Amino acid sequence: MSKHVLAQNQYGKAENRIVAVTRKGDNGAWHEIRDLNVSVALRGEYRDVHLTGDNGNCLPTDTTKNTVYAFAKEHGVASPEAFGILLAKHFVTSQAVIHEAQVRVEEYAWERISVPTRKEQHSFARKGQEVRTAQITYSANTGLQVLSGLKDLTVMNSTNSEFHGFIKDRYTTLQEAYDRILATKVTARWANSAPAAADEEHDWDRSYQKVRRHMLEAFAETYSYSLQQTLHAMADRVLDNVSTVNEVRLNLPNKHHFLVDLEPFGLKNDNEVYFAADRMYGLIEGTIHRDGVRPVIATSDWITA
Ligand SMILES: O=c1[nH]c(=O)c2[nH]c(=O)[nH]c2[nH]1
């Protein structure tokens, strides 16, 4: 027996890549696809597995992988959230030793390639870098928690951004900026209210598009005096407009754009030519939630998978 303590532990198959094709229309010629990366983590009575070599409580990770693929056939993939809810509930309700299941889903977006000469539709092009995310956690005790999100959504405002009035100490060299580029790669997570999570009819695709649209509109419409202020405006706009969302956490790297010195060439740089720095970057993060609602989104454990 070990004299040490087994603390939090979980296991399951990570990053099950799955493309689900749904055939619709005449002869099933109209295809719809959902391209997912699904990770399963199970929590429960796993002391013996770690300490004694007794695997009697251990549902193999291989089985969790098989379940993901079989569920895609048996139930279809209506949305990342709906699929995750089905899986998380299945693991907890089918095995007494599994107390809690967490399913993390990334979805890669594809857009249809339309060909005028062809009726059937089964060709797609990968859409940008943006990834939709969902994290579903279920246990009999705490119920269902559904966090939705996105990552790698890169946005830019080429004006309407200033940054000045900041602290200046002996190490400060940053010049005050009255017209700068504001660019960031958005990672967002939002917590859905318990009634929305429990509602089997909830349209997850619609609420995803709504949250995404409000974040983008707030980014575009906010005259920014800091990325922090823009972050707050983006989350605020979501909470104002999407009643089923209780909390928003944003992770916004400030993708710096530095004005290039063109003086050596006798040219004036009138905020026209910038050097786009890859690294380092300012990293602005924050959670905004409804008053009276306890925040649930982890501030550390951040990127899915
Ligand atoms: O929007 C900004 N917020 C900061 O906190 C900061 N710090 C910095 O150097 N540039 C910026 N920009």
Q: What residue ranges line ligand 1, CB within 6 angstroms?
A: 163, 174, 226-228, 254, 282
**Are residues 183 and 116 part of one domain?**
no
Residue 181 C-alpha to ligand 1 middle, in angstroms? 12
Last residue of a domain, one of 123, 140, 157: 140
**Are residues 88 and 69 part of one domain?**
yes
What pLDDT is attached to residue 121?
87
Question: Residue 60 — pLDDT band, cuts 50, 70, 90?
Answer: very high
Question: Strand, helix or coil at 290?
Answer: coil
Q: pTM to 2 decimals?
A: 0.94
174 CA closest ligand 1 atom index: 9
Contact 163, 145 (CB under 8 A): no
Per DSSP, what are the bridge partners of residue 155? 184
The tens digit of pLDDT for each residue in 31-48 reads 999 999 999 999 999 999
For residue 108, what is the domain's CATH number?
3.10.270.10
**Are residues 167 and 127 part of one domain?**
no
Please state, for a pLDDT cut of 70, what percent of the chain lies above it: 98
229 CA closest ligand 1 atom index: 1
Last residue of a domain, one of 121, 140, 159: 140
Sequence-ordered list of residues with C-beta below 8 angstroms from that of 79, at least 6 positions apart, any chain: 134, 204, 205, 208
Last residue of a domain, one of 140, 162, 191: 140
Burial (Cβ within 10 Å: 0-12, 13-18, ≥19) of residue 48: middle
- Among 24, 11, 127, which residue's Cα sits nearest to residue 61? 11
Distance CA 30, CA 27 (A): 8
Query: In this structure, what token pair is assigned to residue 272?
Result: 């026209």
Higher pLDDT, 103 or 303: 103
Tell me the CA end-to-end span of the chain in Å, nearest whole number.
32
- Domain of 211, in residue numbers: 142-305
What pLDDT is attached to residue 219?
98
Residue 166 C-alpha to ligand 1 middle, in angstroms? 9
